[in-house]
Amino acid sequence: MRNIYLISAITVLLAACGSQPPAPEQTPAEVKTSTPTDVVVTKPVVNVVPQPTFDAMSVAALKDPRSPLSKRMVYFDLDSYVVKDEFQSTLAAHSKFLAANAKMKMLIQGNSDERGSREYNLALAQKRADAVKKSLALMGAKEDQMEAVSLGEEKPVCTDQNEECWSKNRRGEMLYNGEY
């Protein structure tokens, strides 16, 4: 029995030594509020080259690939001289340019593919050039700024014998002063 008391006493003593003292009472952390003026945001320095802007009504816009004025072709369907809807915005830009620049002149060259007789192609190409001119005039360009001529099949941009090539040759081409 004495051994049991001794073992119990040692166990209680060891248990008392293994415990930790109670933790002191902690106070909650202080919360600080800040306003946006306290925050400093820095952005990395990036060397940005400013893009030159162009005036859509300047002569320089005629050669600027970002300008709609750099588009100078109106393409037609086979045996047709009806201006397609997809070219209306291009014609509107050129019409607006001509109206804003009274001294500018435009030569509209009508073209056809090689199929058909020479006479037929000359007549069809003239109708195509006239259709482009009429569209421009209806949108505000002055008649005396434009001249429509037929080149027929004489100025092809493609000489292969297939539909893809022929479709590139059925066109009205708009040229300004100094380009013709």
SS3 per-residue string spanning 8-32: HHHHHHHHHHHCCCCCCCCCCCCCC
Q: What is the mean pLDDT of residues 114-135?
A: 98
Lowest mean pLDDT among 11-25, 92-106, 123-137: 11-25
Residue pLDDT, tens place only, 71-102? 999 999 999 999 999 999 999 999 999 999 99
Give the Cα separation of 75 and 55 in Å (integer): 27
Q: How confident is the model at residue 24 (pLDDT cuts 50, 70, 90)?
A: low
Ordered by start, the domain boundaries in the chain are 73-176
Residues paired with residue 146 on neighbouring β-strands, in sequence order? 106
The class level of CATH for 73-176 reads alpha beta
Coil/strand/helix, residue 77: coil
Evaluate if residue 16 carries a pLDDT over 90. Answer: no
* Average pLDDT score, the chain: 84
What pTM does this model have? 0.69
> Above 60 in pLDDT, residue 143?
yes
Q: What is the pLDDT of residue 31?
A: 56
